[in-house]
Structure 1
């Protein structure tokens, strides 16, 4: 199962000419309350398989010349990608309802937020501290990593492009 999943992920990445594969950082997960016996064992085995798949993909991706990045997992499926706030999950956990009333697939919502966190980090990391603080003052949501969504990335991009236009016009 691990090898099959890793090969499928890598073949998808190659087909779409991906440079970086982004995963959630799954540090030691805590056991939810009420897990006993076989249910506890199933949870542990499921967690170990996730880590094994990520490690196998990382090994194969490095061989192919691709990079791997991991982003903070907290809140990726808890917040709506459109920036409307926390979502309500159905009992089956497959759908989520945004505060605006829109229903969306929970995993797709989380994947938008995972990708956005990767790009937010890539944008902010090379900036000087003064420039980063100036941008974060205009987009305060970018300060809290667990609340970063696709809407945060869009706002951040607008602020950066507006400040780049201002600096170019001020020099001219």
Structure 2
């Protein structure tokens, strides 16, 4: 049972790691860089970033979220309570991340992508990006904490 939990945990770590790395990069690099460009460039760049990100990022996100649940269950079945709790905490953190993404980030992503498709710059482009930026550090922190939780769970398996 712990072998299956370990294998699942490694895939889970990779999935969470991809999303964490992406969000951390956006918080550390993209956010300040975009503050220095004009609204048309911001719309074009971020609209196209979201076009690909919103299609390609669900795979590692699902691997992290579902994997956390599977690790929690397998750890519990293997009578590894502490590991199960840590994986469960990681799962909760990822669900919170998903709610933030779905309610705040995704609608902004869709607006910027649609504007980029039309070759337009929304009058509120800077405000849209500010709304997205407002939660990117929190998103990165949630993913980072989930990553640590799964890593700690694997140590305890």
> What TM-score do the two structures reach when normalised by structure 1?
0.25
**Comparing both chains, which one has the higher relative contact order based on Cα–Cα distances under 8 Å and sequence gaps of 6 or more?**
2
Is the helix fraction higher in 1 or 2?
A: 2
